[in-house]
Amino acid sequence: MSYWRTPQGAGILLIVVSTGALAALDTTTKYATALAPVLMLLWFRYLFQAVVTFALRFPVQKMSLLTTSNPRFQALRGVLLLITSTCAFYGLQHLPVGEFTAMVMLSPLVATAMAAWVLKDHVSHQRWLLMMAGLCGVLLVVRPGGQVFSWALLFPVMLVITYGWFQVLTSRLSGEENPYTTQFYTGLVGALLLSPVVVFNWSTAAFLAHWHWFLLIGFFGTFGHLMLIRAYMRASAPVLTPYLYSQIAFATLGGWLVFNHVPDTLAWVGIAVIAASGVGNALLSAYELTKQRRATVCAP
C-alpha cells in the first residue's frame, strides 16, 4: 500500500483514473449526440473546462494563470485540440467506442513519426517496426467487411493526424508554460471559436431536456485532463505512458455496457496489437532514457 503513496505510484493511479474519465467522456458523447446537436455539446465541453479551471486555479495562481509567454502556441494548440474533439464527437456518432479509441491510441506513434520529420528527431529502427505493427493492428480493426468499415473512418484518421501535430507542438514547447494555464486557454480557445457557430445550431429544448448530459460531458472532459496534468506532475512520461492504453479497456467496457457492442475476433486481435505496439513504444522510450542517463553519469 505504501507504494501508491509515492509520487510514482500516485502518478500511475491518477493516469488510470484519467483514462477512465476520458473513456466515460467518449461513451457519454456517443449517447448524447443522439439527443442534442453535436456543436452544442462540443461548445459546452470547452466552456465548462475554461470556467471550472478558472474557478479552481485563479484563487491559487491569481493573474499568473492568465500569463503566457506563447500566446500563438496556446491559440494553435487550442485549435488543434478543437479539431481533434470535433472529429471525436462526430466519429463517435457512427463508430463503436472501443474500436474508435483503439485507433485513436495510435496517435503517440504517429507523433513520433511527425517529430522525426519536423523536428529531425532520431527514430530507431525498433520504433519504426512498432509503428508498422500498430498500423497493421488498425487494418485488422477497419478491414473491409468488418464491423466498423465505413466512410466514418475518415474521422479517426483525421483525429490521429491532428492529435499527432498537437502532441508534437506540446512536446516542442513543454516546460515553458504552466499546465493549468494551458488547460484554461485550451478551453477558452475552443469556446470562443465555437460561440459564433453554435448560435445557428442552438436548441433550447434539447438543452433543457438533456442538461445533465451536457454537464457529464463537461465534467468528464475537464476532470480527465486535470487528472492527466496531475499525473505528469508526479511521474515521468516513460513511467506513465503504458498505462494510457488502459483507456481502450475502459472504452470497450463502456461500449458493451451502454450499447451492447462487442468487437469481433479480428478486431480484438487488432486492438491487442495496437495496445502492444503502444506499450512497446513507451517501454522503449523508458529504456532509451535510462541508457542516456547512464551514459551521462559515466561520462568524464
What is residue 216's predicted lDDT score, i.e. its pLDDT? 96
| 96 φ, ψ (degrees, to nearest 5) | -65, 145
pLDDT in tens, 252-265: 888 888 888 887 78
* More confident of the two residues 77 and 208: 208
pTM strictly above 0.85: no
Going from the C-alpha of 5 to that of each of 9, 107, 143, the distances in angstroms are: 6, 31, 44
Is pLDDT above 90 for 213?
yes
Q: How many residues appear in the chain? A: 300
CB 214 within 8 A of CB 29: no
Is pLDDT above 60 for 1?
no
CB 47 within 8 A of CB 187: yes
Residue 122: CB atoms within 10 Å: 8
Residue 21: pLDDT band with limits 50, 70, 90: very high
Which residues constitute the domain of residue 206? 2-298
Residue 289: pLDDT band with limits 50, 70, 90: low
How far apart (Å, rounded) are the C-alpha atoms in residues 4 and 2?
A: 5
Going from the C-alpha of 245 to that of each of 102, 108, 226, the distances in angstroms are: 8, 11, 18
What is residue 2's predicted lDDT score, i.e. its pLDDT? 65
**Domain count of the fold of the chain:** 1
What is residue 119's predicted lDDT score, i.e. its pLDDT? 57
